[in-house]
Amino acid sequence: MPRYTPKHVTQDDGSVCAWEHCWAAVGAWAASGASGGARTPTPTYFCAQARKSPCENGGISDMIRGLSNMSLMRRATYKPDVPKDVLRRMLLRRTGALVALEIDMDSWPASTGSVYHSVGVICGQGTGQNRGKVRTMDPAERTYRWRDVDGVIAAAMDYNRSHHETPGTIDVLVVLPPQEK
């Protein structure tokens, strides 16, 4: 039985600082996934749950705070310093898990410049022409897209390098949605 897949969440929710809270859009997406669709917060609402202004930048720690304050962390796990080959296998495995990543947009396939950004990935490799690709939830866009798994990992690795994290590893937040009914 497949897992619940939340709807794509755009960060362009009409708020004054919508383009500042990609992390909150990914957090709202993770909250929807963790709740099996029972809770579908906007990015602005998720900012409030994380105790941050919609105009403040954020990241995985803020997603964790928001999920915790919404009582949804029981379906989520923070995994620091995941080796990139382990992350690659995780992303390609057909589990239906949701993974939140921090990336450097300079390396992202849909690059809009050198900025830090948050994205989500639904674990499970595509088939046919999408083999070796994963479905990504980029809050700067309006729909899921298939992207090469190695490109996704490279963008996350660049983020970690620029933040002087443990070399060769990536910090991730994993949400395991409930089974679809």
d(Cα 38, Cα 97) in Å, to the nearest integer? 17
Asked if pLDDT for residue 165 goes beyond 90, the answer is no
pLDDT tens per residue, range 26-53: 999 999 999 999 999 999 999 999 999 8
Domain ranges of the chain: 18-175
Domain 18-175, CATH class in plain words: alpha beta
CB 44 within 8 A of CB 24: yes
Supply the DSSP string of 48-106, one letter for each residue.
HHTT--TTS---HHHHHHHHHHTT-GGGEEEEEEEEHHHHHHHHHSS---EEEEEEETT
The residue behind tokens 């620029």 is 162
For 107, the token pair is 């390396």
**Whole-number Å distance between alpha carbons of 120 and 138:** 6
For 86-127, the pLDDT digits (tens) are: 999 999 999 999 999 998 766 665 555 556 889 999 999 999
